[in-house]
Amino acid sequence: MGNLMGSWRYKEPTTVEECDSTWETDSESDELQPGGEEEDSGAEQLDHGSPKVPHHTRALKDNKEETITMKTFGDMMESSTRMKRSFYAAKDLYKYRHSYPNYKEPRRPNEYRNLRFYLNKIPLVPDGIYIEEILTKWRGDYEKLEHNHTYIQWLFPLREQGLNFYAQELTQDEIKEFQSTREAKRRFLLAYTIMLDFFGIKLLDKNGNVARAPNCQDRFQHLNESQHNYLRITRILKSLGELGFESFKLPLVRLLLEEALVEGTLPNMRHSALEYFIYTLRQHSQRRALLRFAQRHYQPPENFIWGPPKKKRIPASGSTGMKSGKNEVVEKSVGKARSPREGRNNLEREADDMDDRKSGEWKTAKGSKVLQEGRGRVDLEEYIETIPL
């Protein structure tokens, strides 16, 4: 038996589909149903669960209208290219959700440096700052939190190397020790609240529920313009899951999605939230619930690429070939349907295909130039997200 297990080799995923199992256990059809609810355990109704995000100021509402106007050009550029899922992001988060299946523990003795840092026994390196100093003096010091780039790896450790090579990666044994050490977990949550405040968010309770903080207007504006902080948020979400606070991730991602897609205060965060933040959640049902919520509010809707994959349509036997016109589309869809619900789904898919074929006519010389510019913007955004913290 030992030889059989020893001969097993981890196979690296090679496609986005191999990395993403979000929809594999979905009990619903391949199309999003209006008003559909998540049935699996652990999923919450995103429009009704948890505290509602309060609307603090009229100025924030006015800014929303301005932001939507500014978003228009960005949406036009985005719609001019067929967006693709990032394989780098999918693979990175696949490894995280599966506890780094090919990870090898370091050969050097485990010094538990992350735990000792949180017990205030050693300072972070290279700055020589102890955790108590950060917890008592850094709250509200937004300049320091923004421009210092060595503390984040110590405050939110992971089982992967970041930019601060003085920070030690977590190990399985250290994670167990950390989760059983009350003082370390208490300080970890305080560090989490400092970063939430930096982002304009406040922690409401011990269940991880969050809401806008009084400083949200200024901080959201800053967060929308400082996209390197999205890398920090990804690290924070991962670290929450590693150190025993998996349940804290859903409320934070839900709020960020609402601000990005509904309130319009964080439009630049849309890509990171959908490509990275959601996929740090380990439960399929939670990811599906968030993605359904996002799909209801994403604009333009035809560019939403994170939904359930469409089922492959098998041509009916004895088909004599394709005919032009919408009538033929309707006849084929109804003929193939096994139920009224499936018939509706097929009709919608065929109509979408017709719209896609019609939309291809816009590709003039001028359109090609816009397409190239749009792709450059998407590629740059994806490149920024590949830089580890």
pLDDT band at 315 (very low <50, low <70, confident <90, very high): low
Note the pTM of the prediction, 2 decimals: 0.70
Q: Residue 162 has what pLDDT?
A: 82
pLDDT of residue 48: 44
pLDDT at position 313 is 55
Nearest partner of 95 among 13, 24, 192, judged by Cα: 13
Name the strand (E) or helix (H) holding 48.
Answer: none
pLDDT of residue 17: 92
Q: Rounded to the nearest 10 degrees, how much is the dihedral formed by the CA atoms of 127, 130, 136, 142?
A: 20
The predicted pLDDT at position 102 comes to 79
> What is the pLDDT confidence band of residue 108, given thresholds at 50, 70 and 90?
low
For residue range 116-151, what is the model confidence (pLDDT) as tens digits? 999 999 999 999 999 999 999 999 999 999 999 999
DSSP H helical ranges for 210-305: 216-225, 228-242, 249-258, 270-272, 284-297
pLDDT at 120: 97
Q: Cβ(153)–Cβ(167) under 8 Å?
A: yes
List the single range of 50-64, 176-190, 292-306, 354-368 with lowest mean pLDDT.
354-368
Mean predicted confidence (pLDDT) in 269-288:
97
CA distance 252 to 233: 10
The pLDDT value recorded for residue 81 is 54
- pLDDT at residue 202, rounded to an integer: 98
What pLDDT does residue 3 have? 45
Instruction: Name the pLDDT band for 82 (thresholds 50, 70, 90).
Output: low
Of 16-30, 74-88, 96-110, 164-178, the least confident: 74-88
pLDDT at 161 over 80: yes
- CA-nearest of 16, 46, 41 to 27 is 41
State how far the alpha carbon of 289 is from the alpha carbons of 17, 173, 363, in Å.
19, 33, 36
Mean pLDDT of the chain: 76
pLDDT at 330: 37
Taking residues 232-260, what's their average pLDDT? 98
CB 332 within 8 A of CB 316: yes
Higher pLDDT, 225 or 333: 225
Q: Please, what sign has the CA dihedral across residues 210, 303, 35, 341? A: negative
Q: Is the pLDDT of residue 356 over 80?
A: no
Q: How many residues does the chain have?
A: 389
- Asked if omega into 300 is within 30° of 0 (cis), the reply is yes
Q: Quick one: tokens of 136? A: 């008592």
pLDDT tens-digit readout, 27-55: 443 333 333 333 344 444 455 444 444 44
Tokens 């939309």 identify what position? 359
Confidence band of 79 (pLDDT split at 50, 70, 90): very low
Sketch the domain layout of the chain as residue ranges.
Answer: 16-303
Distance of CA 68 to the CA centre of its chain: 22
At residue 202, the 3 state secondary structure works out as: strand
